[in-house]
Amino acid sequence: MKAVVYTRYGPPDVLRLKDVPRPVPKKDEVLIKVHAAEVTKADCEMRSFNLPVKWFLLPLRMVMGLQKPRKQILGGYFSGEIVSRGGNATSFKKGDQIFGAAKLRFGAHAEYVCLPDGYTLVPKPFNLSHEEAAAVPLGGLNALHFLRLARIQPGEKILINGAGGSIGPFGIQIAKSMGAEVTAVDSPTKKDMLLRAGADAFLDYTKVDFTQNRGAYDIIFDMVAKSSYGGCIDALNRKGRYLIANPRLLDMVRAILTSMFTLKKVRFAFAGETKDELITLKTMLEEGTIRSIIDRVYPMERVVEAHRRVENEKRLGPVVLSMGKGGGR
């Protein structure tokens, strides 16, 4: 099978398209033919080993490989088809169309991947293509997780900082479905996409510092690792909630103290990416409550270009890699 492989840490050019042996499912695993997979910021960070949150670099490097990567095929979020299954795998049958998350096993940037039957795998929404479905799990699962923590009430004002990546467009749509008034913050090139996603207002971070709007928001959902913790807290109203998707170690300590000694609450719990949450997203997609937004679809042969687009933050939403013919829109 063909797979995108990297044997050393570095820039996008370390990626190579190679023929590698097709995996064989163990007793509790399913073999999946991957039709499409998202290229995420995490893929770029693992490839280069340049992470914005530095506090867990050493332990993660020990797990992933000190001198070179142990797992040489990236890709954690995908859509595909069940090809075969091990004797103890009973959730799916051959031919089932599914989408889901490979978690830290990665491996989805290939024509086939093996995953445990109990992983976050559910039937693909009937009204989505594989490319559209592959763009959902990362952004959708994380947005749903954090916005449920916020316990949004109708009419509340939420600001989503760094809204133009994988998570933000789903965050906008899910927050709107909960009745919130949404302000999106990002670069000016992403304004039109974010307004089409449903944002009520847009702030260009190169011109406007939203943290100067003291007490303006009920909720801030923050994807930007270098945000000002104090500035975000000041921009919340008296009982506001601050959701941090990329917390620094100091942010975690301050979050505990803020939540203990003020009426404001700070949450940084990482998404569990559960099957139940993905089923909720599937239902919302099939009902038309939310929709998949894709920046571009690249064929496997253009994976270096796809990584550059994600890494340079030029994308307008998720970037998807197609394992079949015809990718490249």
Average pLDDT over residues 292-302: 96
Bridge-based pairing of strands 16-19 and 77-85 is unpaired
Distance CA 36, CA 320 (A): 7
Residues 313 and 234 in one domain: no
Which tokens is 132 given? 């559209």
> In the sheet that 217-222 helps form, which strands lie side by side, from edge to edge?
201-204, 181-186, 157-161, 217-222, 236-244, 265-267
CA dist., res. 144 & res. 130, Å (int)? 21
Look at residue 284 and tell me if it is in a domain. no
How confident is the model over 47-56, as a mean pLDDT? 69
Q: Are residues 132 and 191 in the same domain?
A: no
Q: CA angle, 255 as apex, 254 and 261 as ends, to 5°? A: 85
From the list 304, 269, 321, 270, the residue with the least C-alpha distance to 79 is 321
Inside any domain, residue 280 = no
Q: Is residue 287 part of a domain?
A: no
Q: What is the pLDDT of residue 329?
A: 41
Q: Let me know how long the chain is.
A: 329
Residue 54 has pLDDT above 90, yes or no: no
User: 275 lies in a domain?
Assistant: no
> Are 114 and 49 part of one and the same domain?
yes
Residue with tokens 């979050």: 255
Could you tell me if 130 and 243 lie in one domain?
Answer: no
CATH number for 298 = 3.90.180.10
Res 328: pLDDT? 42
Task: State the Rg of the chain over Cα.
Answer: 20
Q: What letter does residue 136 receive in the DSSP assignment?
A: S
Can you tell me the distance from the alpha carbon of 220 to that of 113, in angstroms, rounded to the nearest whole number? Answer: 37
Check residue 13 and report its DSSP letter: G
User: In which element (H, E) is residue 46 found?
Assistant: helix 41-48
**Residues 121, 165 within the same domain:** no
Please tell me the pTM assigned to this model. Answer: 0.92
Q: Say if 182 falls within a structural domain.
A: yes
Site of tokens 């039109």: 192
Q: CA-CA distance, 92 to 247, in Å (whole number)?
A: 37
Which amino acid would we find at residue 260?
M
Query: Which of 280, 168, 274 minimizes the C-alpha distance to 221?
Result: 168
Q: What percent of the chain has pLDDT over 70?
A: 93
For residues 131 and 62, membership in a common domain is answered with yes
Q: Which residues pair with 2 in a beta bridge?
A: 19
Average model confidence (pLDDT) across the chain: 93
Q: Is residue 314 part of a domain?
A: yes
For 100, the token pair is 């889901």
**Across-strand partners of 4?**
17
Q: What would the mean pLDDT of 127-134 be, rounded to a whole number?
A: 98
**Residues 232 and 306 both lie in one domain:** no
pLDDT for 315 equals 93
CB 322 within 8 A of CB 39: no
Number of domains in the chain: 2
Average pLDDT (139-156) is 97
pLDDT digits (tens, 9 = 90+) for 188-211: 999 999 999 999 999 999 999 999
* Domain span at 206: 141-267
Residue 327 lies in a domain: no
Q: Return the number of other C-beta atoms located less than 10 Å from residue 21's C-beta.
A: 8
Q: Is 190 in the same domain as 262?
A: yes
Residues 161 and 119 in one domain: no
Same domain, 70 and 173: no
Distance CA 112, CA 35 (A): 9
Give the per-residue pLDDT at 68. Answer: 83
pLDDT over 80 (residue 53): no
Q: What is the mean pLDDT of residues 124-152?
A: 97
Is there a single domain that holds both residue 158 and residue 127? Answer: no
Pairing mode, if any, of strands 29-39 and 77-85?
antiparallel
Q: How confident is the model at residue 230 (pLDDT cuts 50, 70, 90)?
A: very high
CATH assignment of the domain containing 225: 3.40.50.720
Residue 328 belongs to a domain: no
Q: Is the same domain home to 82 and 107?
A: yes
